[in-house]
Amino acid sequence: MASAPLPLAAAPIHFGTDGWRGVIGVDITVERLLTVAAAAAQELAYRAPTELKSRSVIIGYDRRFLAPEMAEAIAAAVRGCELEPLLTETPVPTPACSWAVVQHQALGALVVTASHNPPEWLGLKIKGAFGGSVEDTFTAAVEQRLAAGGISIPINGITKRFDGRGQHLAGLREKLDLTSLIKGLQKMGLKVIIDPMHGSAAGCIAELLDPHNQGLVQEIRDQRDPLFGGNPPEPLAPYLKQLIAAVQASSATGQPAVGLVFDGDGDRIAAIDEAGNFCSTQLLMPLLIDHLARAKQLPGKVVKTVSGSDLMRLVAEDLGREVLELPVGFKYIAAEMLSGDVLVGGEESGGVGFGMHLPERDALFAALLVLEALVEGEQPLGARMKALQERCRGGSFYERFDLRLADMDSRQRLETLLEQTPPATVADQPVQTVIRTDGVKFRLGPSHWLMLRFSGTEPLLRIYCEAPSQTDVEAALNWAKQLAERT
């Protein structure tokens, strides 16, 4: 898939749903990154809990072009704020930095990554002292510091390094019974095929489950490639042809397999079932809810974003669990995890967090729990999901696509129309209720809805649909596209 044309001028520094990102050499330059890192470090120090006496800031980076060099550079910016940078020895999944914040009792973390964005992008994620993404008020304060033009002079020096990857994996070993998991996978004869998409999660699952290379885990696309094979390192079906082929090839030989894929910085997950079907978190979340609530009897409510599948709610309510629906963005889920008892929280784009772990997306932890669920049910992923859907009567079809509008005026006209005169029907289906938790969501029936949500910074419309059939999905998506184009 071709990347979007490069902008001719740098965009203003603005934080999105999880960090600041942009094109290397245009939006992201050393000078700009140093300034943003300094403002973020100052805000971390200013907002530090009174009982936290640390002056340390964790710095991590992924496998992108210039990411190691940029991480070393912002260490100087952190020193210039009279704070102590702790830099990871190697590229790490972003959750490893969140884990390190908690383990080292640091002020927070600055992670050089553009997550799942195209290869020419880079960016910065900020993690708070609690081990999760900072909230909107924090990033707004960082933007205010940048606008005020505060002066901070980077200070060169020797940066202390630590084994962030190793510490994260050690933490996962402590939290889960991997010995039993390995035995269970061997008993099932289930092969695990991992696709880290050339990203920083490479090698992690193999090191945890198959350290002696006995054939339990196979890994593809594990070498660093800053171009990510020419596609964004995002766990979506069009980018996973190699993984799908590998899973199907294994199953064809009589050994069922499950494919697990992580995005570029290892905080998002998706899967491929034994037949080669793509399984997003729309399917993995219900499986995890069932496993944690029914099999493991862990406490807490289920938190989902408004764009998440109804199957999540159906499974949770079948097990007597409260369900809370929030706006899109894992930071809203993380805030709920910090304030209440949460079993699992997830979003449709691949991020899943657990009350028993961190208030943060951690794709490695989620992957191990998915495998644990398959072992507990003694079924491969496709069969396990079919049984779960039949039990909860929640089988449905789901799709999302992004539509670029002509300009911001077009966006404003459509936004006004949806606000003032929302349609009474969608693709000839009566609208039962209109939900405005985030964007506008039209409820058309059981497991049948259409949602329109605008980007916060550009003329981009995100369109989501879940329906009882693929035909219904296509009808609703085409209706939404025509509405947007004629407004």
Q: Do 385 and 424 fall into the same domain? A: no
In a domain, 310, yes or no: yes
Token representation of residue 457: 């910074």
In a domain, 467, yes or no: yes
In a domain, 5, yes or no: no
Q: Which of 142, 164, 186 is the last residue of a domain?
A: 164
Q: Comparing C-alpha atoms, which of 367, 361, 329 is closest to residue 95?
A: 361
Q: Do 363 and 401 fall into the same domain? A: no
Q: Do 354 and 478 fall into the same domain? A: no
pLDDT tens string for the chain (487 positions)?
444 454 457 788 989 878 999 999 999 999 999 999 999 999 999 999 999 989 999 999 999 999 999 999 999 999 999 999 999 999 999 999 999 999 999 999 999 999 999 999 999 999 999 999 999 999 999 999 999 987 789 999 999 999 999 999 999 999 999 999 999 999 999 999 999 999 999 999 999 999 999 999 999 999 999 999 999 999 999 999 999 999 999 999 999 999 999 999 999 999 999 999 999 998 999 999 999 999 999 999 999 999 999 999 999 999 999 999 999 888 889 889 988 899 999 988 788 999 999 999 999 999 999 999 999 999 999 999 999 998 988 777 888 888 999 888 889 999 999 999 999 999 999 999 999 999 999 999 999 999 999 976 678 899 999 999 999 999 999 999 999 988 8
In a domain, 169, yes or no: no
Q: Quote the number of domains for the chain.
A: 3
The string of DSSP letters for 418-483 reads HHHS--SEETTEEP-EEE-SSSEEEEEETTEEEEEEE-SSSSEEEEEEEESSHHHHHHHHHHHHHH
Q: Do 385 and 419 fall into the same domain? A: no
Q: Do 388 and 404 fall into the same domain? A: no
Q: What is the pTM of this model?
A: 0.92
From the centroid of its chain, how far is CA 50? 30
User: Residues near 250 by Cβ (< 8 Å), separated by ≥ 6?
Assistant: 191, 193, 218, 256, 257
In a domain, 199, yes or no: yes
Q: Do 357 and 221 fall into the same domain? A: yes
Token representation of residue 229: 């094979």
Alpha helix segments (H runs only) across 149-280: 164-175, 178-188, 204-209, 241-252
SS3 270: strand
Strand 397-404 versus strand 352-354 pairing type: unpaired
Write the CATH number for 224.
3.40.120.10
Alpha carbon distance 319, 322 (integer Å): 9
Q: Do 416 and 439 fall into the same domain? A: yes
Alpha carbon distance 404, 396 (integer Å): 27
Give the position of tokens 């209440």: 340
Q: Do 192 and 312 fall into the same domain? A: yes
Q: Which helix (H) or strand (E) holds 76?
A: helix 67-80
In a domain, 419, yes or no: yes
Beta bridge partners of 85: 57
Q: Which of 392, 418, 436 is the last residue of a domain?
A: 392
In a domain, 7, yes or no: no
Write the CATH number for 435.
3.30.310.50
Q: Which helix (H) or strand (E) holds 286?
A: helix 281-290
In a domain, 15, yes or no: no
Q: Do 185 and 135 fall into the same domain? A: no
Strand 342-346 versus strand 56-61 pairing type: unpaired
What is the domain extent for residue 124? 20-164
Q: Do 194 and 334 fall into the same domain? A: yes
Q: Which of 330, 362, 392 is the last residue of a domain?
A: 392
Query: What pLDDT score does 67 carry?
Result: 98
Q: Do 300 and 387 fall into the same domain? A: yes
Strand 191-195 versus strand 217-219 pairing type: parallel
Query: What pLDDT score does 143 carry?
Result: 96
* Residue 152 main-chain phi, psi, to 5 deg: -140, 120
Give the position of tokens 């999540």: 312
Amino acid sitting at position 91? P
Q: How many CA atoms lie within 13 A of 350 on its CB side?
A: 24
Q: Do 157 and 190 fall into the same domain? A: no
User: Residues near 214 by Cβ (< 8 Å), separated by ≥ 6?
Assistant: none
SS3 194: strand
Query: What pLDDT score does 211 carry?
Result: 93
- Give the angle 13-16-17 at the CA atoms, nearest 5°: 160
